[in-house]
Amino acid sequence: MIVALAGGVGGAKLAHGLAMYLPPEEVTVVVNTADDFNLYGLRICPDLDTVMYTLAGVANPETGWGIAGDTFAALEMISRYGRSTWFRIGDRDLATHVIRTSMLTQGMTLTAVTGDLCGALGVRSRVLPMSDEFVSTVLDTNDGELEFQEYFVRRRHEPEVRGVSFRGIEVARPTDAVVSALHEAELVVFCPSNPIVSIGPILSVPGMRETLEACAAPKVAVSPIVGGRALRGPADRMLDSLGHGSSALGVARLYEGLVQGFVMDAEDAAYEPDVRVLGMRVLVADTVMRDDVDRRELARRTVELGRSLVESGIGAE
């Protein structure tokens, strides 16, 4: 059993690679939910949806979010009703939010709802929200305090981020499903997602870090920074403005003490000695996932790094 910690697009791609390389039932993806928000009375879980749609094979490969071939008739009508529509919800995607919200309103947990939706879409891996409590990322920027989607989508992640907080995280807990998945894990993969606002919230759920530390399996992180830049999104600028440095090394430092293996892109090979010093075995690989073959190959190499750690007695019980 492999547990992958993931945010949106990059995390979903590697999770998909893992589910292709391994029997998909042996993969559990623990997903960031701190960018969840409510819009038009509906609960929207962007990262959960990206992971679910990607694993279901219905994700839109061009946008990185939403469903391939989706249409926007409902959103046009919502706009006609005078509501702002900067968050682009397709018609099929809207169905997800409607059904999710109705199940949550009936008292189901987000974990149960996600299991139901994933099952309906034929996803054979387990997709688990990091917690069932509602957490929201708030960014302190040079343009004031911004909710995550406000910053990320509406403002196209242009403002400079000076601080990050996760509202509601103090009462969040890792779910039983997450705890038992980590308990059974033979390998934990930190996917190439934004370490600050995707993996960061997962690690910030009270009790999650302790659960990870108590988990005997080796842990391997894959850098989302390639050649100093994020492939998508604001991770590079965020790492810089928060003082971590926009590099594979900056990412590795954030995971120091938590992971024993680190996968970085060939472009970043110069950082290898510095990352080793942090106590990590380093794999230099091509980490850019252009297609399914790339996803599966990066998954394979990441899993093999994990196996090599086990063989060396690192992270083994």
Q: Which is nearer to its own copies, 23 or 82 (CB)?
A: 82
Q: Which is nearer to its own copies, 66 or 201 (CB)?
A: 66
* Pick from 221, 169, 171, 217: nearest CA to 199: 221
- Write the burial class of residue 209 (CB in 10 Å: 0-12 exposed, 13-18 middle, 19+ buried): middle
Query: Counting contacts by CB under 8 A, is residue 70 touching its own copies?
Result: yes
Instruction: Mark 101-140 with x for binding to its own copies (rule: CB under 8 A) and - for no binding.
Output: xx--xx---------xx--xx-------------------
* Footprint of its own copies on 27-56 (CB under 8 A): 40-42
Query: Counting contacts by CB under 8 A, is residue 63 touching its own copies?
Result: no
For residues 250 and 225, give the distance between their C-alpha atoms in angstroms, rounded to a whole number: 9
For residues 313 and 317, give the distance between their C-alpha atoms in angstroms, rounded to a whole number: 8
Structural tokens at position 104: 């949550």
Instruction: Mark 1-30 with x for binding to its own copies (rule: CB under 8 A) and - for no binding.
Output: ------------------------------
- Pick the binder of its own copies from 2, 9, 22, 94 (CB under 8 A): 94
Q: How far is the CB of 109 from its own copies (least distance, A)?
A: 16
Q: Which is nearer to its own copies, 74 or 303 (CB)?
A: 74
Query: Counting contacts by CB under 8 A, is residue 91 touching its own copies?
Result: yes
Q: How far is the CB of 121 from its own copies (least distance, A)?
A: 7
Size of the site for its own copies (CB under 8 A): 32
Q: How far is the CB of 73 from its own copies (least distance, A)?
A: 4
The continuous run of DSSP H or E covering 309 comes out as helix 292-311
CA distances from 142 to 229, 230, 243, 295 (A): 21, 21, 15, 36
For residues 116 and 47, give the distance between their C-alpha atoms in angstroms, rounded to a whole number: 16
Contact 187, 221 (CB under 8 A): no
Structural tokens at position 67: 């469903």
Q: How far is the CB of 122 from its own copies (least distance, A)?
A: 9
Q: Which is nearer to its own copies, 102 or 142 (CB)?
A: 102
**Residue 244 main-chain phi, psi, to 5 deg:** -90, -20
Query: Counting contacts by CB under 8 A, is residue 242 touching its own copies?
Result: no
Q: How far is the CB of 52 from its own copies (least distance, A)?
A: 11
For residues 246 and 226, give the distance between their C-alpha atoms in angstroms, rounded to a whole number: 9
Q: Which is nearer to its own copies, 81 or 290 (CB)?
A: 81
Q: Which is nearer to its own copies, 91 or 267 (CB)?
A: 91
Contact 134, 170 (CB under 8 A): no
Q: Which is nearer to its own copies, 76 or 158 (CB)?
A: 76
Sheet holding 187-190, edge to edge: 126-129, 27-31, 2-6, 187-190, 219-222, 261-265, 281-285
Q: How far is the CB of 74 from its own copies (least distance, A)?
A: 4
Q: Which is nearer to its own copies, 78 or 314 (CB)?
A: 78
| 43 three-class SS | strand
Contact 6, 198 (CB under 8 A): yes
Q: Which is nearer to its own copies, 77 or 214 (CB)?
A: 77
Query: Counting contacts by CB under 8 A, is residue 290 touching its own copies?
Result: no
Binding positions for its own copies, rule: CB under 8 A: 40-42, 67, 70-71, 73-78, 80-83, 90-92, 94-96, 98-99, 101-102, 105-106, 116-117, 120-121
